[in-house]
Amino acid sequence: DIQMTQSPSSLSASVGDRVTITCRASQSIRSYLNWYQQKPGKAPELLIYAASSLQSGVPSRFSGSGSGTDYTFTISSLQPEDFATYYCQQSYSPPRTFGQGTKVEI
């Protein structure tokens, strides 16, 4: 199985801050890396797929980058509605494992 190590597990930030979350795979996943946002009581929402492609309708302040085993998710200017938990997920091979999640708090 491919293990996904996401960091940090939580962070405190303010509106307007730049926020960065990293995800490391235990082997190369060839950019088959997705990022999701989950708010309390809601289903996750796909934000970024294939490491850097923005899902339709998602604001451009969200971005992703990386290749091989190391990936980064960035919110360029944190907005009040962005306080949530973020997960990475590899879709390179089954089981399609998730990272542990990063809770973004005020």
Partner 1 sequence: QVQLQESGPGLVRPSGTLSLTCGVSGDSVSSSNWWNWVRQPPGKGLEWIGEIHHTGDTYYNPSLASRVTISVDKSKNQFSLKLTSVTAADTAVYYCTNRRIGLDFWGQGTLVTVSS
Positions touching partner 1 (CB under 8 A) are 1, 32, 34, 36, 38, 43-46, 48-50, 53, 55, 87, 89, 91, 94-101
Closer Cβ to partner 1, 49 or 75, answer by number: 49
Strand partners, 12: 105
Closer Cβ to partner 1, 44 or 66, answer by number: 44
First to last CA, the chain: 34
- Residue among 97, 88, 94 nearest 38 (CA): 88
Min dist CB 16 to partner 1, Å, is 28
Alpha helices in 1-106 (DSSP H): none
